[in-house]
Structure 1
Amino acid sequence: MYQNDALKCLTGEVRLSYANLCTPRANNPGEDPKYSVTLLIPKTDIATKADLDASIEAAAQDGMQRLWNGVRPPMMRTPIHDGDGVKENGEPYGEECRGHWVLNASSKQKPDVVHSSNLNVQLSPGDVYSGMYARVTIRFFAYASSGNRGVGCGLGNVMKIREGEPLSGKSSALNDFKGLEQPIQPMPPQYIQPTQTQQPQTYQTQVQQPQVDPITGAPIGNMLGL
């Protein structure tokens, strides 16, 4: 029971898979698009598993009263599965599901996705991915549709706790280059060579002295009639 709601749970730390938390997606053509996520709940988290079982049972009791005419379905479907087993189609779950309970949750309403360090700010789509670790609120409900009776799981809100290895198959830069970090080398101080100030060139004009006749003392040029 969470916040006095027997149908609602707050998980412990879980890993997210198939996280469609920022953009709704339709699983099949013609279906309404929904926000959805698969929660990988460690089997070692006994407290969370007990809360899930209690809320699923509360949803089943509600279904018997409102939808199932007081009869509990002998093969009641639930949204939680054994990650060490196989899917409904007989295929085994992925390696990331080993040692976990697998729970699918969805909603037509966009969930709030925040970080544990700041609950007032929505995370950007780039910070939300399959493989990260979070705590999630979910709420179980009974249904009767097309002859099927069971308990489904509605998605509430998501609080990211820490990073994790992405499950998209794309490696992160952190993993690709871990151990190769290099500190930024400071640039050496730049010295500017002072330029030499060029001294202005001076030119001396030589005045040619006229030749003088040693006897008369008169300029030779004048004697020649120049």
Structure 2
Amino acid sequence: MTGPTTGPTAGGPALAAVLDAGQTRLRTLLDGLDDDAVRAPSALPGWTRGHVLTHIEGVGLALARQARYALRGKLIEVYDGGRSGRDAAIEAGHGRSAPVLTAALGDALDEIEASWAAVGPDDWDRPVSYRDGTVTTAGLAWWRELEIHTADALLGPTPADWSPELCTHLVDFLSARVPDGIRLTLGTPGDAADDTWSFTRGQGTPVLVRGRLTDLAAWLAGRVPPRALTGDPLPTLGSWP
């Protein structure tokens, strides 16, 4: 399988639409959060829900800034202060009270939505500093971050709710984690003729891992799949690309 060239991964209106839907969904999930909910554990070890929401706030603003500056013909660093600046902002922000944190995230979503809404049909190929890519590259990163971390926040949506388009994109992007020396094939159960799907990456010892597409994507993303995969032992994945 190779990455699709249509739909959200091609940028343009399809990517703008999934970003808008994800941002709108996150807004609805923030309603009614209290301090206990913000301090509760997330799906990420060592991180509370407040850590995850603060990270969404920061990464969303950082990637929106990539698009905003690209429209001016300028390049800018993803995070002020680089990775250490990102980490410091999460540590400084996760302990905020629920009203302060959710208001800040709401304000961030206002800015994020405005930035992506300003991207026109001819703007998606403009260069950005993120991965030396384009506005589409930054938009896809925000799609991944938004969908994965919304699930990490344990506010309702889970990886089982990820769309087929997102899952195939995650598999393609995250297949870089396949270790050297392994020819990994991922496959779905194929309960019906149109359910069968497969993806192969790498060279070496053949390893077959089967499961539902959402579970395969969750595993490659370093999350616990909602349903068990077959393939024992599962290979140890490398770092996030």
Would you say same fold, with TM above 0.5?
Answer: no
Q: Which has the higher helix share?
A: 2
Structure with the higher strand share, 1 or 2: 1
Q: TM-score, normalised by structure 1?
A: 0.27
TM-score of the pair, normalised by structure 2: 0.26
Of the two, which has the highest radius of gyration? 1
